[in-house]
A and B are shown apart, each in its own frame.
Chain A
Amino acid sequence: MDRYERPLYNFLLALVRDGDLAADCTQDTFLRAYENLGKGKPVTTSWLYTVARNRAMDEFRRRRRLEPTDEALEHQFVEHHADETFAVQATLDQLAPHDREVLYLVDVAGFKTDEIAAMLGLQAAAVRQRLSRARERFRAVYRGPA
């Protein structure tokens, strides 16, 4: 848990953009992991991200809350405010969840597109296309420091 708590929480935060919701999803993910471990089933990094991602998607469906609240964002990121960080976060906020998801999994979590395809249940070509489009959308919005 020491190793994965923060990355999973940040992945979920990038998806749901709500600190409390991300914490709930992280908790559920670890509980599922402990359940699996208790049954003798393996728990891998991909498995953890898949469960976390599915949990977040479940929340999206349940709450129909695709856009975050300003209070949650301000609460989460004000202490890390810096020009570059703020610009990246502001850009991510304007992207769709599936764009944020693939960008985070590739650039932050460091997964390959094949691994992401296995996680999301997609073809690798579909993930690559999604990544390419997400990069273009990010590029269209991002105004980083010169």
Chain B
Amino acid sequence: MTHDQIRDLLARRTELTPLEDATVQAHLEGCPECRIAARDYDRQMAALRSLPLVPPPPVLRDRIMAEIQRPPARRFRMVYGLGPLAAAAVIALGVMSFHHAPHPTASSRQTLGATHTPLPPTARPTTKAHVSRRHISRHTGRRGRSAATPLPAVPGSGVALGAPPTSVPPTAALPPAPAPVTTVRHVGIARTSRHAAAPTAPPAAGHTPSPGSPPTTGARPTATASPGPAVSPTPSRTAIIAAPLQPSPTPTP
């Protein structure tokens, strides 16, 4: 056996089998280095065993007994009582955000689909042109907000179909589309204008992008194209609901 293997056996010397013990003894007789290690290990074990046990604080037992005698409902009130409160708050927030945000309508989607805006040269070239919004929505299932594109002042419009650039299908296989069709590059503007490319894509009047808004992909559309005060985008309800429900590690023996 090697020295390391003997050290491993020495480390748990109290639980060696007779065969292992004999092997160790045979090795120690011819190995002064491991004999020194064995002596040090023995001293180490004796020192640890001789450690005096520190008495716990006298109040500890009183605390434990007081907690035990307390009814469980009160004992764990802080732990379990906050759950329903948090759930109620989350539901309330979700309902509020649902009612305060305008809903995309079919007419608004059709209106957007009929518009086309020339792209600035600084727009992120995420995709080529000629992909209809309906095609995007089929691939992504997400909706976003077009913050940089001037939209016609149609009531209820202003809802853009947002999609992450990575989810756009390859452009080589896409057929060319006529000019009036809104393109995916439109979506690219909408995404970049909310982050880094906002200065390069000036927003339309009455359609102010809010740079401070959280960059949540697929957030519910909240702004309209009608003139008026800018409406900051609301975080998605999924994000609101999921935030307080992060699991915390608990010891489970």
A54: B residues at CB distance < 8 A? 251-253
Contact A131 B48 (CB under 8 A): no
Contact B48 A50 (CB under 8 A): no
Given A31-B67, A51-B253, A144-B43, does the pair A106, B12 have CB atoms closer than 8 Å?
yes
A136: B residues at CB distance < 8 A? 7
Binding site for A on B (CB under 8 A): 7-8, 10-12, 14-15, 37, 40-41, 43-45, 47-57, 60-61, 63-64, 67-68, 75, 249-253
Query: Which A-chain residue is minimally distant from B45 (CB atoms)?
Result: A107
Number of A-B contacts (CB under 8 A): 108
A135: B residues at CB distance < 8 A? 7, 10-11, 41, 44
Q: Given the complex of chains A and B, what is the CA–CA distance between A80 and B67 in angstroms?
A: 30
Q: Given the complex of chains A and B, what is the CA–CA distance between A10 and B45 in angstroms?
A: 17
Given A27-B64, A144-B43, does the pair A77, B11 have CB atoms closer than 8 Å?
no
B55: A residues at CB distance < 8 A? 6
B-side binding surface: helix, strand, loop or mixed? helix
Our pick among A26, A61, A138 for the contact of B56 (Cβ within 8 Å) is A26
Q: How big is chain A's contact interface, by range? A: 35 or more
Query: Which A-chain residue is minimally distant from B47 (CB atoms)?
Result: A88
Given A34-B68, A85-B52, A88-B48, does the pair A9, B60 have CB atoms closer than 8 Å?
yes
Query: Which A-chain residue is minimally distant from B59 (CB atoms)?
Result: A23
Q: Given the complex of chains A and B, what is the CA–CA distance between A112 and B15 in angstroms?
A: 7
B63 to chain A, nearest CB (A): 6
Name the interface residues of A104-146: CB closer than 8 Å to any CB of B. Answer: 104, 106-108, 112-113, 128-129, 131-132, 134-136, 138-139, 142, 144
B41: A residues at CB distance < 8 A? 135, 139
Contact A107 B56 (CB under 8 A): no
Given A6-B56, A23-B57, does the pair A108, B51 have CB atoms closer than 8 Å?
yes
Q: Does A103 count as interface, using CB distance less than 8 angstroms? A: yes
Given A31-B67, A31-B68, does the pair A85, B250 have CB atoms closer than 8 Å?
no
Q: Given the complex of chains A and B, what is the CA–CA distance between A139 and B38 in angstroms?
A: 11
B43: A residues at CB distance < 8 A? 142, 144
Q: Please list the 6 inter-chain residue pairs (A to B) with the smallest Cβ-Cβ separation, ordered nearest first.
A: A54-B251, A107-B48, A9-B56, A132-B11, A50-B253, A135-B11
B21 to chain A, nearest CB (A): 15
Contact B251 A10 (CB under 8 A): no
A64 to chain B, nearest CB (A): 13
Our pick among A5, A57, A87, A113 for the contact of B47 (Cβ within 8 Å) is A87
Q: Given the complex of chains A and B, what is the CA–CA distance between A58 and B251 in angstroms?
A: 7
Q: Given the complex of chains A and B, what is the CA–CA distance between A34 and B53 in angstroms?
A: 24
Query: Which A-chain residue is minimally distant from B36 (CB atoms)?
Result: A139
